Amino acid sequence: MKLTSEEVNEIALESRLLLTEEELAGAVRYINRFLDALQCFKELDLKDVEPFSFAEAIECPLREDKVIPFPDTEAILHESEHVDGSYFKVPRIMEE
Amino acid sequence: MELYELNLWMLTEGLKAGKFSASEVFTSCKNRIDKCEGNIHALITRTDNEMPAFSKDGTLAGIPTIIKDNLCTKGLRTTAASKILGDWRPPYDATAWARLKDSGAVLMGKANMDEFAMGNTCGNSAFGPTHNPNDITRVPGGSSGGSAAAVSAGYVPFSLGSDTGGSIRQPASYCGVYGFKPTYGMVSRYGLISYGSSLDQIGPFARTIRDLQIVMSVISGHDKMDSSSFRNKPHDFTHNENASIKGKRIAVVKEFAGFTLDAPIADAMKRTLKILEDEGAIITEVSLPVVSKYAVACYYALAMSEAHTNLERYDGVRLGYTVKDARGIKEMFERVRSEGFGAEVKARIIAGTCLTEPTRCEEYYVAATKVRTLIAQEFSRAFGETDYILQPVTPSMPGKIGESDDDAMKGYEADLYTLPVNLAGLPGLSFFTGYAGNLPVGLQLIGARWSDSEILDAGMILERHFGSPKISDGGVN
């Protein structure tokens, strides 16, 4: 089933993207063409197939759950234009 | 011969023997960049204003290099060719770059690429397109087009790129250099700006196989900062002049036989098979029916889903492009992302969001992860029947800059020969076979997981027959 431009626009808004009319028309063509291409999966019997994982990953890949201070937090804060002291400051979160 | 024309191994030997100085090498490469960059535009940022201090004891002491601009460099602008990263200066180095630097490499610049590594022309960059140094009217390939073009034009003897679905191998082929995509897990991706995390891998470009081996010996190996980098896996890349492929099985893919190739690529396949046979290899055939029919759809479903997740982090708060007059957080995120991302990236984010929504996730994303299992199993079976697979990198020679097809899926289908390698986490070498007119022709050798050093040995044998690529004219003769 083809997605309408309203549906694609809704998906774009979920991704926090505002599309111009031209961009939206392109996105509708792109997504529907792409979803058509994915219909080929239905030709395969995937019922008993496990989702992919790298088989050698048998050891626990996680690091020890221990805080390691980053040596240069100033360098991180320096890159933002929304800093207040040692915090990032964002606009209001609650809608009016 | 100018110093910039020397390959990496020649430079390391010459520097050690005191035949010339690192400063002379630096100046020669810098002059070459000055001469060609106006025509090629391989670099987003140049760092060759003056010779920096470098580690004198390492394997790469005093060797100039260039790295793709999706590798983090501490205190130095890193853009991923996107407006959304602005002038971001990362507070840390990518491990692959840190290892080069510790080994004495000297950074000359950061290479242009398709935005967030999404593309195969290097024309999808917020900084404009890179031009193929063999013919500046043509694309260099992508996404690591700047890294490939820089090595081809003699800016540096080697560079780093990243390969999510062919982004090292395809531009290597288009520019006429060697490009190597290592086994997934062989090289740490810490500090690589993520696109598709289960697919991304860092690897080198160079003008000889021996040079690739030198770089791989420096950048490979476990890194505690990347949980996908493996411990205790073979990564001995010592150059072996006596390597042989006598008795090795080399297969072509049965299902690919019916696909159309440009004449120079089809001809290169025939010539390469003959060379391998003459070297004592056993030429055989493997069947990859799922790969040939479903890999493109599977790859793009997964790559877009992972991209959508990875790119959620760009919101204008902590780094990069931002707006300061937004009335709320939602407006801020929407404006930053809408103004900061390019068209292809937006399309892929929207597609990824669509595929992973709860109502569609099982039908598309989960199905793709299962198709990926079938693809990996198919390769695993194939590598029980053969040691290597020989195949094209792309079906066609590099196109003209600015030529585009309205149907993006057609462009994606051109990646059929490269992206299955990423789906199965395999190593792949894009190697040089000669020229058709002024354009280089490359092919690809792939192997089982962790067969990286054997593939490079086989590549060296092919290099003996085909010769190493020459430095391209870079648009200046």
pLDDT in tens, B420-457: 999 999 999 999 999 999 999 999 999 999 999 999 99
Full domain range(s) for residue B430: 1-477
Which site among A38, A59, A63, A64 would you substitute to test the B interface, given the most B Cβ atoms closer than 10 Å to its Cβ?
A: A38
Residue, of A65 and B317, whose pLDDT is higher: B317
Taking every pair of C-alpha atoms in chain A, what is the biggest distance, in angstroms? 57
Are B202 and B160 in contact, with CB atoms under 8 Å apart? yes
Closest Cα of chain A to B181: distance in Å?
17
Are B251 and B281 in contact, with CB atoms under 8 Å apart? no
A41, A44, A61: residue with CB nearest B227: A61
Residue A60 has pLDDT above 80, yes or no: no
Residue B223 has pLDDT above 70, yes or no: yes
Supply the CATH number for residue B299's domain.
3.90.1300.10
Smallest CA-to-CA distance from B62 within B4, B107, B118, B113 is with B107
A-chain residues within 8 Å CB-CB of B354? 3, 8, 11, 31, 35
**CB–CB contact A52 B370 (8 Å):** yes
- Mean pLDDT computed over B54-80: 97
A-chain residues within 8 Å CB-CB of B409? 33-34, 37
ipTM: 0.93
Which DSSP letter does residue B284 get?
A: E
Residue A55 has pLDDT above 90, yes or no: no
B-chain residues within 8 Å CB-CB of A58? none
Q: What is the pTM (predicted TM-score) of this model?
A: 0.97
Task: Calculate Rg over the CA atoms of chain B.
Answer: 21
Residue B384 has pLDDT above 60, yes or no: yes
Residue A58 has pLDDT above 60, yes or no: no
Which site among A34, A62, A77 would you substitute to test the B interface, given the most B Cβ atoms closer than 10 Å to its Cβ?
A: A34
Residue B405 has pLDDT above 90, yes or no: no
Q: What is the pLDDT of residues B243-277, one digit of tens each?
A: 999 999 999 999 999 899 999 999 999 999 999 99
A-chain residues within 8 Å CB-CB of B422? none
- Break chain A into its structural domains and give their ranges: 5-43
Average pLDDT over chain B, rounded to an integer: 96
Q: Cis peptide before B143, with omega less than 30 degrees from 0?
A: yes
Q: Would you state the pLDDT for residue A96?
A: 60
Q: Would you state the pLDDT for residue A91?
A: 87
The residues of B annotated as belonging to the active site are 68, 143, 167
Query: Binning pLDDT at 50, 70 and 90, where does residue B236 land?
Result: confident
DSSP string of B78-100?
--TT-GGGTT---SS--HHHHHH
**CB–CB contact A16 B330 (8 Å):** yes
Helix (H, G, I), strand (E, B) or coil at B65: strand
Give the chain A residue whose CA is nearest to the CA of B350.
A12
Q: B185: exposed, middle or buried (C-beta count within 10 Å: 0-12, 13-18, 19+)?
A: buried
Q: Would you state the pLDDT for residue B233?
A: 75
Give chain B's domain count.
1
Give the chain A residue whose CA is nearest to the CA of B86.
A79
**CB–CB contact B89 A59 (8 Å):** no
Query: Binning pLDDT at 50, 70 and 90, where does residue A94 land?
Result: confident
Q: Would you state the pLDDT for residue B402?
A: 87
Q: Which is it for the CA torsion B450, B443, B237, B229, positive or negative?
A: negative
B-chain residues within 8 Å CB-CB of A87? none
- Mean pLDDT computed over B159-185: 98
Residue A71 has pLDDT above 90, yes or no: no
Query: Binning pLDDT at 50, 70 and 90, where does residue A50 land?
Result: very high
Instruction: Give the Å distances, CA to CA, from B95 to A66, B2, B116, B219, B248.
Output: 21, 32, 19, 8, 35
- Mean pLDDT computed over B318-333: 94
B293, B315, B353: residue with CB nearest A40: B293
